[in-house]
Amino acid sequence: MAEDRRGAILRLASWTRSDNPITRHMVGVQPPDSINLAGGLPAPELFPVEEVRAATDRALRRFGPRALAYGPVAGLPELRALLARRFSRPGRRLGPENVVVTSGGLQALDFLGRALLERGDAILAQFPTYLGAIDAWKPAHPRHLALDWDAAPDAQQAAMQAAKFTYCVPNFSNPTGELVPLPRRRALLAAARAARALLVEDDPYGALYYDGSPLPTLFDLEAGDGGEGPYRGNVLHLGTLSKSIGPGLRIGWAVGDAAVVDAICMAKQGSDIGTSSFVQAVALELLEAGVDHAVHDRMIETYRARRDALVAAAQEHLSRRFVFEAPVGGMFLWLRARDPALDTGTLWPVAMAEGVSYAPSAVFDASGALHDCLRLNFTLNPEPRLVEGARRLARAVERHLQQPPAASGSSEDKPG
């Protein structure tokens, strides 16, 4: 009766039926003694708490009441100017009109979808795809086309033209951790230019290279062709402070053509009206003081050791059942089951019972069909926890494989 009444009060839109509970698990309160390898979470002991306190003092002295007032929808002009300078290159001078500050990196994807997508429009995206992006675009019921990095130029252009935009994470893709090599980057950019297509480059992990030299981003590669006028380009470049200062600030940005920035602002105006001026003022002080670079240096040391520990533990405990490659950077190790019948969705509750969680591959596939892979995060936990997590996961896999196959109706616990 109470349920009936509640059902009548709340008539949800149809997209909500394809809910993804894994994000809430990742960022939510964890069961005690469970090892969370699911989330894309940074190491909290590296958060620059004292630097944030000092930056807040400076920001409130500098901005006074302005730090507590509404500001322009696109963000604090001083912060946008700093980001414009940071992403300017010889041959491409950016101004504040090329930058919108967002409340975390995902919000740019949400607002881009809102401004561009009509119901049923297509998106061409790297596959498997960041689950936040899949969530953000759900209300428009888009068709998801899988980006083929090796497509012939004509086919690539046609695919891009069939979609409202193309989405990729060339640096240590979420979820696979893949580093897209330079020739593929060049080819994709060339196809976007020929197709006159919008190319969205999400770069949360671009500072987290543990081996070798950073590759130029798509946005870097595009510079130099623009001449001296206002920037008019195909690439919208997304970044965030979540992987340097901390995700609790919720500060991200989108940098690109002013018309694309305007479109994002149109959606932002109808959602949060602008990112917190207070946090933006603090972020400005942190960036001016170079705190993000200092934290990155510490992160690279810490995360490299953790990656090495997880890769070694996976080699020892998981390679019998999974194949994987050690990632060059980022936050994730991606494992593919040797047996394609292994379902990482039904494995999930078994792993939780063993005291470890991960992200099952189905959540990175809008159709939910990708069942034989899983993503492990190596940045949140110290080495012994990573090793123990791999051990627990190996135990869970063996237990799972010994279970009789579940009836199709009994898999309600699985998160994917």
Q: Which of residues 187-216 bind a second copy (CB under 8 A)?
A: 196-198
- Check if the beta carbon of residue 355 is closer than 8 Å to that of residue 33: yes
Q: Tell me if 28 contacts a second copy by CB under 8 A.
A: yes
Question: Going edge to edge, which strands form the sheet with 373-377?
Answer: 322-323, 332-337, 373-377, 359-360
Shortest Å distance, C-beta 365 to a second copy: 16
Residue 258 CA to residue 263 CA, distance in Å, equals 9
Shortest Å distance, C-beta 161 to a second copy: 9
Q: Tell me if 32 contacts a second copy by CB under 8 A.
A: no
| Binding string, residues 138-177; x marks residues near a second copy by CB under 8 A | xx------------------------x-------------
Stretch that binds a second copy, among 30-38, 79-87, 271-279, 306-314 (CB under 8 A): 271-279
Counting runs of H as helices and runs of E as strands, what totals does the chain give? 14, 13
Distances in Å between the alpha carbon of 326 and those of 15, 49, 361, 386?
Answer: 36, 31, 18, 15
Shortest Å distance, C-beta 41 to a second copy: 7
Report the site for a second copy in 317-356 (rule: CB under 8 A): none
Report the site for a second copy in 76-115 (rule: CB under 8 A): 77, 103-104, 106-107, 110, 114-115
Q: How far is CA 94 from the centre of its chain?
A: 24
Residue 184 CA to residue 317 CA, distance in Å, equals 33
Report the site for a second copy in 247-266 (rule: CB under 8 A): 247-250, 257, 259-260, 263, 265-266
Shortest Å distance, C-beta 409 to a second copy: 24
Of 241, 128, 104, 144, residue with least CA distance to 178: 128
Sequence-ordered alpha helix ranges (H) in 231-343: 258-269, 277-288, 291-317
Of 217, 148, 159, residue with least CA distance to 189: 217
Q: Tell me if 218 contacts a second copy by CB under 8 A.
A: no
Among 31, 57, 181, 297, binds a second copy (CB under 8 A): 57
Shortest Å distance, C-beta 113 to a second copy: 9
CA trace torsion 302, 306, 308, 309 (10° rounding): 140
Q: Which two tokens mark 371?
A: 């069942």
Q: Tell me if 273 contacts a second copy by CB under 8 A.
A: yes
Among 118, 150, 228, 412, binds a second copy (CB under 8 A): 118
Shortest Å distance, C-beta 96 to a second copy: 11
Shortest Å distance, C-beta 14 to a second copy: 7
Cβ distance to a second copy smaller for residue 145 or 312: 145
Partnered with residue 375 across adjacent β-strands are: 334, 359
